[in-house]
Amino acid sequence: MKQSLNATVAAALVGLAATAAHAETAIRVHYGIPTIWAATQEALAEAFMAENPDITVVIDGPAESYEEGVQRLLREAVAGTLPDVAFVGLNLWRVLEARGLAQPLDPLMGDKAAFMAEGFGPAVRLGTFNDTTYALGVSASTLMIYANPTLVAQAGGSMDAFPETWDGLIELAAKIDALGPTIDGIWLQRHDWRFQSLLGSYGGRPMTPDESDITFDDAAGLAAAALFHRFSQEAGMKTYGTNEARQAFPAGTLGIMLESSSLLTRFLQGAGNKFEIALKRIPINADPASVYFPTGGSGLVMLTTDPTQQAAAWRYMRFVTSPEGAKIIVETTGYAPTNAVVVADEAYLADFYAANPAVRPAHEQIADFAGPWYAYPGAEGVAVTDLIAAALVDISDGGAEPDATVKALAETLRTRLGMR
Amino acid sequence: MRLNRSVREGLTDLLLAGPATAVMVLLIFLPVGIVAVLSFTDYQFGAASFRWVGWDNYRAILADPFGRRALVNTLTYAAITIPASISLGLLVAIGLHGLTRHQPRLAAVLRAVYFLPVAATLVAMAVAWQMILHPTLGLVNQALGAAGLEGPSWLSDRALVIWTLAAIGIWQSVGYNMVLFLAGLAAIPPHLYDAAAVDGADRPWDRFWTVTWPMLGPVTLFVTVVTATSAFRVFETVATLTQGGPAFASDVLVYAIYREGFVYFKAGHASALTMVFFALVLLFTALKFRVLETQVHYR
């Protein structure tokens, strides 16, 4: 028995109906995380309006985080006051797609293959599910190795001979950890995205392409889970929370940290003159053709269903993902671009790379191996990511046996996600 | 036209109690009713439709090991926080009450110091705690490190985290309880102590046990109810410091409600959890009034 929510809510929300007055050519844009995006959003809107004087871009007050942003969009959907376009986390646009709020973009692209060939390919791939595109990726980040060269040198290593295998990295981390009681060797968050990243470095995938079965209980998944075990058992990885680790690394008490490339700007500011931060790529343990790194960052979704608004919104989305828009985003946020032309043509970002040499490996890893951040399907999709994190905690400091834990976890997920 | 007396009184009553009652019905009872209805559906936050699922959400809470964990953690937190913050609040109040006679100025300063955590925003204070308790950079572990000891991870050790959060909860509520007890102590008429002394109760413990404690009965009841409800409602410190982690070790009921509803978007499930929480607090409050009311001496 299906109940019409609209009728129920309409009755409950009488008097709360907001009146959203749309000017003919005004589009409302939603975004989150103002600490990273505020200046960027204004620069994008300004540059767009200079080129398109017939459209006014109105920016909504930002949400503090992507999660909070999606909550707000869902509330606005119920109240009928959705913005026309929204910047959302790359792991969260599926929430909007599952509720029929994110509009399919294929009809607006015209010839999709030609559109992708123009340089929009990476942006389209980050927002596509089941051959339909619902989002355009606008900024990208992958898991990287951050190293503190001072501590590495104290432990007898060097950045020139930095280990390129997990064995070497764990050995180095153990030596750094032994330097003192308030010095730590290595840290990695026990978290779904981090697990997917290590899984991808072994050529594994979390699910089958049609999302009908879990596949991380294969050899690649067991190897990835074993790393969490080895980091804590062999290199003394502490049970830090994320905030604590993000304070410890720039403070210079943590030798090696595996984190998102998007944190580089913040870490550089935090470390100041204390030490030079070095960024290294994640070791590859499989045929490069099968390797991928799940991409964090944000994408643009279209929420308006009105054809006139859609046409204006599409022009804005196209602008933001164009080389010109990508250049603004990279220069103001430090995120990697999602436009292939910007990556291929040095002319766009040469000045930026000259001023920020440390960021180069992150952009190269994304250009080589960027892949989707798998979102688990259905109502339990977000909930199971916390089960994955809990299993990784069991493996790393509960002393649980990695193989058995990962296999049991996969079984739990199959049940929770209704895959049988 | 003059209305008769009882009608006029009735209208006055309505005028005085009516607006508040109407607001309460509109803002508390109605939403609780909607939540109760939602708890029997599979409604997903933001979805266009829902399905009736009967008691499924409630069954899922009981079957889910993490649901039980949240319940146990909440009870553990309450079992540590309630007695500790009431007894510490009473101790501090008695100390300050005595000090006021000899050192009124010092007593006033100390009173303000103890009350500061209550006046400060808990979320901001939580951030300060996070810095103090940081496993390597924090003041506590730096001090331990200087003494040659390796301090624990206060907020990310699974066995320790609920105790750390409880300690912060006690720190936050002692000042409030102290102020209430101080008011209670000031209201005790001195002649009762004289009378007790005449009857032979002149040692400190006798004075406390025969006069102070019974006279503080109504205040203690109030303090217990307030402390207990706030202990069951613990949320800010969990949300800011641990997000229920690591591995659900500090998951508590109110945080679980938030997580299910606003992170997992499972509004139906979250509504069922809310009803369970509501019933628990109601039951506990009723029980306390039952038990404690019979033992409280009112003047």
Task: Looking at the structure, tell me whether residues A224 and A259 fall in a common domain.
Answer: yes
Confidence of residue B122 (pLDDT cuts 50, 70, 90): confident
Give the mean model confidence (pLDDT) for residues A98-104. 90
Q: Mean of the per-residue pLDDT values for chain A?
A: 88
Residues of B in contact with A67 (CB under 8 A): 262-263
Q: Answer with the residue of higher pLDDT: A23 or B282.
A: B282
How many Cβ contacts (< 8 angstroms) between chains A and B? 113
**Which of A67, A101, A239 is facing B153, going by the closest CB pair?**
A239
Confidence of residue A16 (pLDDT cuts 50, 70, 90): very low
Confidence of residue A302 (pLDDT cuts 50, 70, 90): very high
DSSP chain B: ----HHHHHHHHHHHHHHHHHHHHIIIIIHHHHHHHHHTTB-PPTT-SEEEB-TTHHHHHHHH-HHHHHHHHHHHHHHHHHHHHHHHHHHHHHHHHHHHHHH-HHHHHHHHHHHHHHHHS-HHHHHHHHHHHT-TTTSHHHHHHHHTT-----TTT-TTTHHHHHHHHHHHHHHHHHHHHHHHHHHTS-HHHHHHHHHTT--SHHHHIIIIIHHHTHHHHHHHHHHHHHHHHT--HHIIIIITT-STTTT--HHHHHHIIIIIS--HHHHHHHHHHHHHHHHHHHHHHHHHHHTTPPP-
Task: Looking at the structure, tell me whether residues A49 and A123 fall in a common domain.
Answer: yes
Query: Which of the residue ranges A17-21, B187-191, B253-257 would you say has the lowest mean pLDDT?
Result: A17-21
What pLDDT does residue B66 have?
Answer: 78
- Domain ranges for chain B, please list them: 64-293
What pLDDT does residue A9 have?
Answer: 47
Task: Looking at the structure, tell me whether residues A167 and A118 fall in a common domain.
Answer: no
What pLDDT does residue B258 have?
Answer: 92
pLDDT digit string, tens, across residues B203-217: 888 888 888 888 888
Whether the complex's predicted ipTM is more than 0.90 is answered with no
Task: Looking at the structure, tell me whether residues A147 and A133 fall in a common domain.
Answer: no
pLDDT digit string, tens, across residues A145-178: 999 999 999 999 899 999 999 999 999 999 999 9
Q: Give Cα B266 distance to the centre of its chain.
A: 27
Give the mean model confidence (pLDDT) for residues A303-332. 93
Element at A140 (helix H, strand E): strand A135-141
**Nearest-CA residue of chain A relative to B131?**
A244
pLDDT digit string, tens, across residues B57-100: 888 888 887 778 888 999 999 999 999 999 999 999 999 988 88
Q: What is the spatial distance between Cα A317 and Cα A300, in angstroms, rounded to a whole number? A: 7
- Tell whether A11 is covered by a domain: no
Q: How far is CA B102 from CA A177, B88, B186, B208, in A?
A: 54, 22, 15, 20
CB spacing of B49 vs A71 below 8 angstroms: no
Task: Sort strands B49-51 and A370-371 into parallel, antiparallel or unpaired.
Answer: unpaired
The answer to whether the Cα torsion of B277, B283, B287, B288 is positive or negative is positive
- Tell whether A13 is covered by a domain: no
What pLDDT does residue A1 have?
Answer: 41
Q: Is the pLDDT reported for residue B245 higher than 80?
A: no
Task: Looking at the structure, tell me whether residues A156 and A220 fall in a common domain.
Answer: yes
Q: Is the pLDDT reported for residue B2 higher than 80?
A: no
Task: Looking at the structure, tell me whether residues A303 and A191 fall in a common domain.
Answer: no
Q: What is the spatial distance between Cα A414 and Cα B166, in angstroms, rounded to a whole number? A: 36
Residues of A in contact with B157 (CB under 8 A): 239
Give the mean model confidence (pLDDT) for residues B121-150. 86
- Tell whether A10 is covered by a domain: no
| Token pair in block for residue B210 | 């025969």
Task: Looking at the structure, tell me whether residues A156 and A206 fall in a common domain.
Answer: yes
**Which of A2, A254, A390 is facing B248, going by the closest CB pair?**
A390
Element at A302 (helix H, strand E): strand A296-302
Q: Give Cα A75 distance to the centre of its chain.
A: 23
- Tell whether A127 is covered by a domain: yes
Q: Is the pLDDT reported for residue A22 higher than 50?
A: no
**Which of A75, A247, A382 is facing B264, going by the closest CB pair?**
A382
What pLDDT does residue A24 have?
Answer: 62
CB spacing of A244 vs B156 below 8 angstroms: yes
* CATH code at position A80: 3.40.190.10
Q: Which amino acid is at A41?
A: Q
Q: Is the pLDDT reported for residue B148 higher than 90?
A: no
Give the mean model confidence (pLDDT) for residues A394-415. 90
| Percent share of chain A, pLDDT over 70 | 94
Domain B64-293: which CATH class?
Answer: mainly alpha
Contact, A418 vs A383, CB < 8 A? no
Task: Looking at the structure, tell me whether residues A351 and A390 fall in a common domain.
Answer: no
- Tell whether A7 is covered by a domain: no
State yes or no: cis peptide before B246, omega within 30 of 0. Answer: yes
What pLDDT does residue A19 have?
Answer: 35
Task: Looking at the structure, tell me whether residues A262 and A212 fall in a common domain.
Answer: yes
A59: helix, coil or strand? strand
Give the mean model confidence (pLDDT) for residues B126-138. 88
CB spacing of B246 vs A190 below 8 angstroms: yes
Confidence of residue A6 (pLDDT cuts 50, 70, 90): low
What pLDDT does residue A414 have?
Answer: 93
User: What global pTM score does this model have?
Assistant: 0.82
pLDDT digit string, tens, across residues A25-35: 899 999 998 88
Domain that holds residue A87: 23-141+295-371
Residues of A in contact with B259 (CB under 8 A): 386
A358-390 core/surface letters (b: 16 or more CB in 10 A; e: else): bbebbbebbeebbbbbbbbbebbbbbbbbbbbb
Task: Looking at the structure, tell me whether residues A89 and A202 fall in a common domain.
Answer: no
Q: Is the pLDDT reported for residue A21 higher than 60?
A: no
pLDDT digit string, tens, across residues A240-253: 888 889 889 999 99
What pLDDT does residue A20 have?
Answer: 38
Q: Is the pLDDT reported for residue B168 higher than 90?
A: yes
Q: How far is CA A134 from CA A245, A309, B91, B182, in A?
A: 34, 17, 62, 62
| Percent share of chain B, pLDDT over 70 | 97
What pLDDT does residue A17 have?
Answer: 36
Look at chain A and report how many structural domains it folds into: 2
Task: Looking at the structure, tell me whether residues A191 and A308 fall in a common domain.
Answer: no
**Which of A5, A241, A247 is facing B245, going by the closest CB pair?**
A241
What pLDDT does residue B295 have?
Answer: 66
